[in-house]
Structure formats: structure tokens, C-alpha cells
Amino acid sequence: MPKAKKSDYLNKNSLVKHIDITQIRDLDKLVAAMGDTSFQARNLSRAADIYDMALRDQGCNVILCLAGSLVSAGLKKVITDLVNNNMVDAIVSTGAIVVDQDFFEGLGFSHYKGTPFVNDAELRDLAIDRIYDHYIDEDELRICDETMTKIINGLEKRPYASREIIREMGAYLAKNGKKHDGFVEAAYKKNVPIFVPAFADCSAGFGFVLHQHECLKAGKPMVTLDGARDFLDLTYLKMYCGQDTGLLMISGGVPKNFTQDVVVAAEVLGHDAPMHKYAIQLTVADERDGALSGSTLKEASSWGKVDLSYEQMVYGEATITFPLIAGAVYARGAHKSRKGRELSNWFEGPNFKYPAEKSKAAGKSKKTAPVGA
């Protein structure tokens, strides 16, 4: 039997292709019809209604939470279209989605359809990584790691919030990228901040490991991550940049809890911020094991995080439920009259800029006063 080659698994005929919700007609009619059915179809239809309400609420900022292998599975353009059409104002994500998947594809690489019924030892010998039923080239991932190190090496040596580094990644792709259809670059151009609370848990982590290792050997200062600053920055957005918020949470994990917790963090800072006004979670997780990903939004209300008036859990796998909801709400057209919030403009490097009236109340000048790192 001839020895397998990498091209047997990774070739142009097996590319994962990204769903384009802007080119699919009548998704709204389908999802609306589901509202008169039952079970998760009805829940999904109500979730679409809630998302549409959040977009039409002029005082509401919408935060998209991402976990799971969404981009590698073909949902990159769904996320990018939400960014480009002012349907999301901030993103909180796992590191893999941002770096190993979206940024990775922006460098010119791809993901490939495969099967879970494969010889994984053979894949390992060929430097092919498997994500359930699709593949990624490990050699190309190493290039992604090296690119992250290059970006990090070029930064001023100080602590950074993840949103700062991800903005640098977007700028890098705008100038040097091979593909320009990803949400990291789109968010950079649309001034949508992206937060990754566990940023070291992805290819960025390998980039940081190499950067810090070399700095330690040379006895030089280094770039570090400030995860607490991420939390503070997102809390400031809740406190000062339009207090009503809507959450669209794809899967669960750290992004879900991190984003819900800003209500409590604002309270810790002495600010009476309202609970998240709108909340949707798409998940397959079960609440009965007590883990975070499956905890219901009703449970979150007991912690003072989510208002129960407009909340909906949808139990279904995200590659099915997310495009349906995003496509249906896109078709309804709320984005056409919705202006982008450009929340990144509230930051200048490491600093958050208070609204002028808040600065005046704090005894500062009428000009925006930065909160220094």
C-alpha cells in the first residue's frame, strides 16, 4: 500500500467553505415559520426575534461571544458579515477562533474537510491536526505562531490587554494578509473591539512563549498580557458607553461568563449598571452537570447578570443554529439603519477615555481624560 501524502488529505477539493448569509434568500421566512412549531425550532425563532429587538434598540450595544471551532467549521463569513453590517459592537472570544482560525486564514491558509474515522497516527506523521471532521496543517500553524511572535516583538515592552494585540493583528492583516474576508481584519476596520480573556490558550500563547523566552535569556523587558485589564475595559464599556447590552453567545466557556460578569464588576466599582437586557445562548451543553457552559440564562439572573424579559436558550449545534439566526435577522434589515458604535474609539492604546461629562464630574478637564495602564 503506497504511503499517504499530505496532499491526500489537504487539497483544493476538500476546502471548508464559509457560509454567506447575505446570499441566501428566505431564511427569515423559514425561521419565522419555526415560531409556530415546537421544541428548539420555536426557541430558535424567538431567539431571532430577541436579536432583532436588540439591534433595533438604539441604546443597546450588542456583544457577540464565541467559543468552539466556529471559523474552521465554515462560519467565518457569518461573523464577518455581522461585523461589517453593524450587527455586533464588541466580541469576546476564545483565542483559537481569533488566532488559530481567523487570523490563520487571513495569512492565506485554509481548513479542510475530513472525517473522524481516520488513522490519527498517520495524520500525526503528516503534521495534520484534526478538529473532529476537518483538518488543519500543523506546519502552517507554526507559521501563524511565528507571525504572532513577529507582531509581539514589534510592540512596546509593557503589559497589554488582549484587545490591543488583536487590533495589531487586524492592522497586520490589512497590510500583509493574503485573504481579506475575516472578522479580525473587519473588526479592526470597523472599530469593533475584540477581547480574548484566555489569550495565551492558543497560537498567541506560543508566540508569547517564544517572545518571553528570548527576552528572559537576553535580560530584556518583555510584552506581557494583562487579563484583568480586559475585564476592566469591558466593564468600562458597560458603565460608560451605553449601559443597555444584548448578548449573543455562541457556545459557552470563558467568553460567556466573562461577559456576563461585567454587570457584577460594575457593581463592585460602585456603579449601578443594569443587567444584560437581551441574552441568547446557542449551546449543546447540559445544565445538569453544574458546569458553566450549560448553565441557563435563568440561572444567571439569580446572580444579577441577565434580565429575564428577553432571554432565550437554544439547544442545538452552532453550525446549524448560528447561520439560521444570523441569516434570518440579517434578512429583516435592522442593520440598514443601525450605525456602528465604534467602541474601539473609547480606547487610546492602553487607556480608556471617560466621557467628557464623567471627567468633569470627577474634577478633571472637559477634554476626555484617559485611564492610564
The C-alpha cell of 352 is what?
480608556
What's the rounded Cα separation, in Å, for the pair 107 and 147?
Answer: 9
- Read off φ and ψ for residue 305, nearest 5 degrees: -105, -40
305 annotated active-site? yes
Residue carrying the nine cell digits 439603519: 337
What's the rounded Cα separation, in Å, for the pair 197 and 232?
Answer: 11
The C-alpha cell of 298 is what?
435563568
**Of 229, 239, 193, nearest in space to 362 by CA:** 239
What's the rounded Cα separation, in Å, for the pair 363 and 229?
Answer: 24
What's the rounded Cα separation, in Å, for the pair 284 and 315?
Answer: 5
What's the rounded Cα separation, in Å, for the pair 293 and 337?
Answer: 34
Interacting residues of 118 by C-beta distance below 8 A, sequence separation 6+: 130
Instruction: Count Cβ neighbours within 10 Å for each residue of 252-264 and write b for 16 or more, e otherwise.
Output: bbbbbbbbbbbbe
Interacting residues of 281 by C-beta distance below 8 A, sequence separation 6+: 247, 249, 252, 256, 297, 312, 313, 314
Give yes or no for a contact between 341 and 227, defined as CB atoms under 8 angstroms apart: no
* Catalytic choice (305, 336, 339, 366): 305
What's the rounded Cα separation, in Å, for the pair 312 and 34?
Answer: 15
Task: Tally Cβ neighbours within 10 Å of residue 108.
Answer: 12
The catalytic residues are 305
